[in-house]
Structure 1
Amino acid sequence: MSDSKTGVKALDSDKTKPKRKLYVGTQALDYRRDHMEVISPLKDGVVVDWDIVDNIWNYAFRQRLLIDPKEHPILLAEPSTNSPLQREKAAELLFENYKVPALFLAKNAVLTSFASGRATSLVVDSGGGSTVVAAVHDGYVLQKAVATSPIGGEFLTDCMMKSLESKGIVLKPRYSFKKKEISPGEYQIVDLDFPNTTESYKLYSTRAIAGDIKESVCRVPDTPFEEAAYANVPMTPYELPDGQTIEIGADRFKVPDVLFNPSLSQTIPGMESIADSTSLRGLPQMVIESINKCDVDIRRELFSSILLAGGTSSMQQLKERLEKDLMEEAPQAARVKVLASGNSTERRFSVWIGGSILASLGSFQQMWFSKAEYEEHGVSYIQRKCP
């Protein structure tokens, strides 16, 4: 499994080469190369480039885990919104290219639910590229009740980056300068010029800084953000990689509130062109919509078992604000309870934790989709073995 950060891939765009050269992982991305583009195999959490996924899996098996996939059954976590075609492509790739002995596909929301010891829950998974709200009942995702939004951590990072740029703050990527010591303890910044650096690499490097700012200073406001109310909030200092210290005020609250009010992004210079942000729903609306699409007899249980997952869900005060907003919008009889691990690492990797629990159960061993079954029934059999 890879999260949205390590799932990024760099490639050399030199047109004279017959085949693109691929570099995988964050370590490869830390080294700037001329003409190198940065691309992701995912869009809104769904695979759009299987060649890159193949390379990432190969890197994970051979260079990180140091295993031969032929010797290990694979449990693969998948988005709750995955299409039958996507599932079959993943199965085909693992059986044909990696010769795995057996495979099981499990939905992200189900694994998050298992990680918290629940078979029924409403999972709010806010990751890098998207936010997905999915109802899980007796260990299965109720597909009719899945709500999605393209607003995730990367969108919020872009909001922060554009807002700072509109105020004249320059975020210098780490590769674009060096520090020269002019006297003991005193440094001068020397700009470096790399004309063959691609726009996608510049953007990746700048986003890395904006993302750290977001994670360091942002906090979800207790009530919906209003410019006038937050005009005089105390400023919070942040030291940039080049040694410059900037002061961040209202943006600390405005950026995270985009999760609750997507149309707020329209007020940030440079983000106005993002399509449909005015029609997108905030987190509370997605939760209510998802629960209302479920049978009446399980709605009460879902309201009392709302699980937060994904890196973006670790934003300060997000749990408290979501619970407060839902209490105002939910039916009076509902007992709203938002649950989240106090450990941000556990929230970010709840899918992986749930997968490790599921794969270790004795009762799970009979559920594998084996290589023999694949060869006998074909790849479409995955739909029956892994509903």
Structure 2
Amino acid sequence: MYGGDEVSAIVIDLGSHTCKAGYAGEDAPKAVFPSVVGAIDQMDVDESDDAEKNSGSGESKNNIRNVDGDKAKGKRKLYVGSQSLGYRRDFMEVVSPLKDGIVADWDIVDSIWDHAFSRECLLIDPKEHPMLLAEPSSNAQQQRERAAELMFEKYKAPALFLAKNAVLTSFASGRATSLVVDCGGGSTTVAPVHDGYVLQKAVATSPIGGEFLTDCLMKSLESKGIAMKPRYSFRRKEIRPGEFQTVDLDFPNTSESYKLYSQRVIASDIKECVCRAPDTPYDESAYSNIPTTSYELPDGQTIEIGADRFKIPDVLFNPSLAHSIPGMESFAEIAPSVRGLPQMVIDSINKCDVDIRRELFSSILLAGGTASMQQLKERLEKDLLEESPQAARVKCLDWRQYIGFSWFLPTDVVLQIRV
């Protein structure tokens, strides 16, 4: 057992899109950065660094090597954190430590934790703090053991607790029983929690998450001739006061994965700024004359976005819409097995004991970044009211009330932890 008011427990939540780290009991995480990293084969590092000296970026070779989050792992050099990923490097690939939400590369996780503890983020000594690691509902025992081994043997943490994401979200809302709808970057998971435990047999998952919606938007805009130039691929030159010209830059050694990552950053911002869930199921003819919304791209180009503002979010509710988006044809292979969000909720609750279904319907907690989309809560509540039993009292709770999630848990609860 580990306790004491003078000690702050550290919470780390490694998601498919973002890693969050901070102190238990606070309103929000102290550090939020991408969960993907840049990776360069060690044989290419020196050549890449020399080339970047002349790339016109103004960042010296010495500064690059001293960026926190620069970690050499075996034959790779890893670059962790928003600052490191924001700097283009020759031959740098963007890789994720996760596959289907489960850790597949522990070297990358090690580097991510190093970065979280560094002066760029928390500036702590992990030996002095008990640790709480958030994990997906589907995490295997082997993964839990590996996380504990790394945390104890390398970081010398005095205590460790691994908790399911859904349970932490439920507790943060003050509930021991709820239905947690986690709309994350890589997937969407619906998990019923009863008396503080996830009911594994009733967990429902979908590959449609925030990144899938981002790709749908990006492909749709590309089909309309809108090119999203990555920020590294141009510079804006002032030709006269107040007037700028875009000058293209050529970096032939830029990897396709880094180019795609840079384009996704732009498309994700467009999605967050202009998209909203439609009040009713999307219909092409009904939205054909919808007013457009303007968005200025980093290169100064202003684009107009119309029906896509509503069509892309509705893919969460009706996955078959993705078929009509040019470039998303590969989704057709798995589409028949993918359910919309309301159906996932209904199916999950129906797999639970009949005695707790009423309580689950009235305690639907929305979590994850995609859940912040405008009108998503209202649309989900509306669809569920139409499909749920008449006796059910459907209530969806806004995720922003519980954005702190595991950080919002009372400190005295988190501190009483052990393996």
Q: Same fold per TM (> 0.5)?
A: yes
The 1-side partners of 2:42 and 2:183 are apart by 36
Q: Say if 2:41 and 2:75, in contact at 8 Å, map to a contact too.
A: no
2:191 equivalent to 1:105 = no
Code of the aligned partner of 1:223: T
Equivalent in the alignment of 1:384: none
Question: Which string of whole-angstrom CA distances, capped at 9 and with x for unpartnered residues, describes residues 274-299 of structure 1?
Answer: 23123200110110111111100000
Q: What is the Cα deviation at residue 366 of structure 1?
A: 4.5
The 1-side partners of 2:246 and 2:280 are apart by 41
2:148 equivalent to 1:148 = no
Equivalent in the alignment of 1:194: 251
2:282 equivalent to 1:225 = yes
When the two structures are superposed, what TM-score results if normalisation uses the length of structure 2? 0.83
Q: What is the Cα deviation at residue 62 of structure 1?
A: 2.6
Calculate the aligned-residue CA RMSD, in Å: 1.5
Question: Which string of whole-angstrom CA distances, capped at 9 and with x for unpartnered residues, describes residues 166-200 of structure 1?
Answer: 01101011100000001100000000000000000
2:333 equivalent to 1:285 = no
Code of the aligned partner of 2:136: P
The 1-side partners of 2:237 and 2:182 are apart by 44
Equivalent in the alignment of 2:381: 323
Q: What is the Cα deviation at residue 14 of structure 1?
A: 5.5
Unaligned residue ranges in structure 2 (runs of 5+): 1-11, 19-33, 46-73
Q: Say if 1:69 and 1:100, in contact at 8 Å, map to a contact too.
A: yes
Aligned length: 361
SS in 2 for 1:168: coil
2:361 equivalent to 1:303 = yes
**Equivalent residues in 2 for 1:205-284, closer than 5 Å:** 205-274=262-331, 275-284=333-342
Q: What is the Cα deviation at residue 365 of structure 1?
A: 4.6
Equivalent in the alignment of 1:374: none
The 2-side partners of 1:86 and 1:289 are apart by 28
Question: Which string of whole-angstrom CA distances, capped at 9 and with x for unpartnered residues, describes residues 251-286 of structure 1?
Answer: 000000010011111110111112312320011011
Equivalent in the alignment of 1:383: none
Code of the aligned partner of 2:41: S
The 1-side partners of 2:206 and 2:388 are apart by 20
Code of the aligned partner of 2:258: Y
SS in 2 for 1:300: helix
The 1-side partners of 2:44 and 2:187 are apart by 36
2:419 equivalent to 1:361 = no
Q: Say if 2:179 and 2:192, in contact at 8 Å, map to a contact too.
A: yes
Q: Say if 2:159 and 2:417, in contact at 8 Å, map to a contact too.
A: no
Code of the aligned partner of 2:316: L
SS in 1 for 2:335: coil
Which deviates more from structure 2 when the two are superposed, residues 68-77 or residues 252-261? 68-77
Q: 1:135 aligns with which of 192, 198, 214?
A: 192
SS in 2 for 1:238: strand
SS in 2 for 1:273: helix
The 1-side partners of 2:272 and 2:241 are apart by 32
Q: Say if 1:133 and 1:147, in contact at 8 Å, map to a contact too.
A: yes
The 1-side partners of 2:224 and 2:44 are apart by 41
The 2-side partners of 1:65 and 1:329 are apart by 46
Equivalent in the alignment of 1:382: none
Q: Say if 2:44 and 2:91, in contact at 8 Å, map to a contact too.
A: no
SS in 2 for 1:66: coil
Equivalent in the alignment of 1:377: none
Equivalent in the alignment of 1:31: 87
The 1-side partners of 2:322 and 2:405 are apart by 29
Equivalent in the alignment of 1:12: 40
Q: Say if 1:13 and 1:37, in contact at 8 Å, map to a contact too.
A: no
Code of the aligned partner of 2:406: W
2:108 equivalent to 1:56 = no
Q: What is the Cα deviation at residue 67 of structure 1?
A: 1.3
Question: Which string of whole-angstrom CA distances, capped at 9 and with x for unpartnered residues, describes residues 309-333 of structure 1?
Answer: 1100011110010001001111111
The 2-side partners of 1:296 and 1:193 are apart by 62
The 1-side partners of 2:184 and 2:289 are apart by 31
Q: 1:40 aligns with which of 82, 85, 96?
A: 96
Q: What is the Cα deviation at residue 15 of structure 1?
A: 4.7
Code of the aligned partner of 1:215: E
The 2-side partners of 1:366 and 1:189 are apart by 57
Question: Identity over the aligned pairs, expressed in percent?
Answer: 73
Q: What is the Cα deviation at residue 240 of structure 1?
A: 0.6
Instruction: Call closer, same or farther: CA 1:97–1:69 in 2, change over 3 Å.
Output: same
